[in-house]
Amino acid sequence: MTEKKDPIRVLLADDHAIVRAGIRQFLERAGDIQVVAEADDGEMAKGLIQQNQPDVAVLDIQMPRASGIEVTRWVRTNTPGVGVLILTAFDDDPYVLAVLQAGANGYILKTASPAELIRAVRDVNDGKSVLDPGVTHKLLSQLSHPREVSPVEALTQREMEVLELVAKGFTNKAIGAQLGISDRTVQGHLAHIFDKLQAGSRTEAVMRAVSLGWISQSLGTITEE
């Protein structure tokens, strides 16, 4: 008689309850996967990972209080035995690279089928690396046709302070109030940041900084002014 294996214990972290409910339903129908905890923000995910020690943590990238990238870095430092699978709507290169650099075991898009998600959880549990086919194609295409990118000039301390507040969703006026400077001065700092990071928008600047490992805190809803 074959001994029954213990189920794969999974933690789900996504700030949308309806998304978590759907993912949980798909996973638990597999029969060998058990969702042991759910979190609706990054800090809650850290606490539940520490408490439950799941086999696999399935994380969204953009969550309140701590991003999936930050939670992944935390897992690698504090609970290295936990596998990390990023399940997200974002296939932007900076996000993919930042997550992989942070130590995630897998990256799969929310457009994946239930069967693909179940397979990804099983593969991460088995110690394998998982990358969504669409993301793989995109990265391989980029490697085959690399873009000429100039070296990135380091930001000043004040520019980093401004960029970190941009990443948290603050407007120019709110950033000025936080730092005790005028809106015009904030705009000047942003112009220098865009130039140094070769970015055309606040979102692009933040994404580039995340990919470079300069920003580790959670990404809020970035306000484009």
CB 189 within 8 A of CB 161: no
Range(s) of the chain covered by CATH 3.40.50.2300:
8-144
The per-residue pLDDT for range 34-85, each reduced to its tens digit, is 999 999 999 999 999 999 999 999 999 888 888 888 899 899 889 988 999 9
Q: Which two tokens stand for residue 174?
A: 């709110």
Percent of the chain with pLDDT over 90: 34
Among 3.20.20.70, 3.40.640.10, 1.10.10.10, 1.10.8.60, name the CATH number for the domain at 157-211.
1.10.10.10
Range(s) of the chain covered by CATH 1.10.10.10:
157-211
Among 3.40.190.10, 3.30.2350.10, 3.10.400.10, 3.40.50.2300, name the CATH number for the domain at 8-144.
3.40.50.2300
CB within 8 A of 81, min separation 6: which ones?
53
The per-residue pLDDT for range 197-208, each reduced to its tens digit, is 877 777 677 777
pTM summary value: 0.60
